[in-house]
Chains A and B, each alone.
Chain A
Amino acid sequence: MSTKSKSIEKKTDFNQDERLKKVSKLRLLLNRPELGALGGAILVFIFFGIVAGDTGMFSAYGVLNFLDVSANLGIIAIAAAMLMIGGEFDLSIGSMIGFAGICIAIPAIYWGWPLWMSIIFAFSMAVLVGYFNGILVVRTGLPSFIVTLAMLFILRGATLALTRLITGRTQVPGLRVLIEDDPLAWIFATDTFKWVFTWLGSMNLIALRTDGTPLATGIPPSVIWFIALAIITTWILMKTRYGNWIFASGGDKNGANNVGVPVGRVKISLFIGTAVAATIFATIQVLDAGSADTMRGTLKELEAIAAAVVGGCLLTGGYGSAIGAAFGALIFGTVSMGIFYTDVDTDWFKVFLGAMMLIAVIFNNYIRRKVTESK
């Protein structure tokens, strides 16, 4: 081996390959899965800049508002994208959100657990649900679409039945008083960079309430979680061995197995990822609202998948990006909030969502053909 590699070093240095320069920057960019979502996000901002530029949508309060909505969706969309790159779906994300919310609220309110313990309990349940989804898909070889569709009903049903059994109702309020002084809850419930907003308010740069405090008080926790997750998952995909295994597992399960990639373990870990992301979503929302609702998160799994698809994920796996899903979520969040600032009836949002997804799928399909076609 060593003698061979020495003889290679005499060959040309590939970093200086003159033909590389002929590949234009644009062409390289076209090969990136998140291009469509990035372009879409820019278009959306230009559109609302023109239509709603003078309405307050782009005031500090307005921006934080649509960022918050985008970030909440983004947290689950990123996890869904990772799983889709790994070649599987998780339709139980929405139900997991409702289930996780109840897992926090019932122990905290009815069993007298400290809030931090309830939160840890919810995350433990998420790991169990994710593991169960994963092991079922990997062991049986059934399509994850079916397995997690079953889990969608099971989890939602169990959430409803258990909550009614224990509490006699479908909502569990009263959490807000527990947040203060809790050693864990602040991670999911604190607005950050408050001083920036206080300062901006004192300079009269942003809108104030009548009592002189700024209308926008700080960056909501969802936005911080969203940005952190986007960075971490992108780093995982691009820069780690595990990231390569995710692409390989989704691209060709058998091929990956044959060269020693632990496909089963990779997929199970990704299922745990979506369930945990759903629980982060649920924790933030439950602590923000101060109550848990059994119906929370309904249909969120489809929005997450839609955002991942707009972000460049192929439904067949092996291709996509986490940052693309983040842009996808940003598009949906911005439009769903921005539509209030226009004269358009908000009922049209779903039409937009569907059309956007359709365009994305057609675009992605074209890109995939481009990427895989033979010379």
Chain B
Amino acid sequence: MSEYLVQFNNISKFFGKVIALKDVTMKLKKGEIMCLLGDNGAGKSTLIKTLAGVHKPDEGEIIVEGNKTIFDSPKDALDMGIATVYQDLALVSLMSVTRNFFMGREPMKGPPFFKTFDIEKANKIAAERMGQIGIDVRDPSQAVGTMSGGERQCLAISRAIYFGAKVLVLDEPTSALGVHQASVVLKYIVKAASQGLAVILITHNVHHAYPVGNSFTVLNRGKSLGTYAKKDITREKLLSMMAGGEELNKLEVELQEMNRSSAN
């Protein structure tokens, strides 16, 4: 058994002549939160889809719990315990909390051929699971559309964990949320990790990533700029490593000049 729960070694992905990813390496232990940072176009989406089994890497290897594996489909990745929560969350806002929680994996009861959806059990589990995160679902048959963005995110994560995720891949879980909602979600992510899950948190928001991450991988133009433990890097350094950092500095200088010239 290797010390890492999951390893992605030297992953590369090409689309024709375009090099979408080149030699990206990520290793996660149980309970670790790794933040994957990158600006738009850095290759985050391609990497997520590769982790989720949508794309097959052209080079490199994926090792789950010490065994080298190949994901032929998203289902393969899911079966190995790698669950991806996309930005759209795969939630249907018109359906109830319970029906969303168990969508596609409904608990059944009754004799063979006459099996029915055990909605009472499903309601109970959904309400319990949401209660655990501190979200009061007064009525698990209420539509997901009535929940806030943060609550929906938590529901999607909670669902992935309930169905046996060992590695959570979260795609921009806080990007559409306000400050308070984002902190609720981040808190939940830390809690999930403390229960032994490995989390890959994909974001372009360093301020959300830095407080919760154990290690940080910065992606720029399809290449990894390296992985750093939290003690080895500052928030400012991370920010400037993402392509945006330098540009923001430049922007600041330009703005100062504009101010000066307009003052004259």
Contact = CB atoms under 8 A, between A and B. Distances in A.
Contacts of B142: 31
Interface stretch (B7-15, B95-103, B253-261): B95-103
A17 B124 CA distance: 12
Given A255-B88, A255-B90, A255-B91, A244 B99 contact: yes
B92 A241 contact: no
A140 interface: no
A354 B88 CA distance: 37
Nearest to A4: B195
A258 to B, nearest CB: 4
A318 B94 contact: yes
Interface size class of A (residues with CB under 8 A): 35 or more
Interface string A245-286: 101100110111011110000000000000000000000000
A240 B95 contact: no
B164 interface: yes
B41 interface: no
5 closest cross-chain pairs (CB), A and B:
A372-B145, A251-B92, A255-B90, A260-B104, A259-B104
Interface size class of B (residues with CB under 8 A): 35 or more
A14 interface: yes
B145 A374 contact: yes
Interface of A: 1, 4, 8, 11-12, 14-15, 17, 19-20, 23, 31, 238-241, 243-245, 247-248, 251-252, 254-256, 258-261, 314, 318-319, 368, 371-375
A119 to B, nearest CB: 26
Interface in B132-176: 132, 136, 138-140, 142-143, 145-149, 164
B138 A260 contact: no
Interface of B: 74-75, 78, 86, 88-95, 99, 102-106, 108, 115-117, 119, 123-124, 127-129, 131-132, 136, 138-140, 142-143, 145-149, 164, 195
Nearest to B114: A240
A261 B117 contact: no
Given A1-B164, A251-B93, A371-B145, A244 B102 contact: yes
Contact of A8 (B93, B115, B116, B128): B128
Contact of A239 (B91, B103, B117, B127): B117
A371 B147 CA distance: 10
B69 to A, nearest CB: 19
Contact of B116 (A1, A23, A239, A319): A239
A244 B103 contact: yes
Given A14-B128, A252-B91, A371 B143 contact: yes
Given A241-B117, A252-B90, A373-B145, 17 more contacts: A8-B128, A14-B127, A241-B106, A244-B102, A244-B103, A248-B104, A251-B94, A254-B88, A255-B88, A255-B103, A256-B90, A256-B103, A259-B103, A260-B105, A318-B94, A371-B145, A372-B145
Contacts of A239: 116-117, 119
Given A372-B143, A374-B147, A255 B131 contact: no
B109 to A, nearest CB: 10
Nearest to A259: B104
Contacts of A256: 90, 92, 103-104
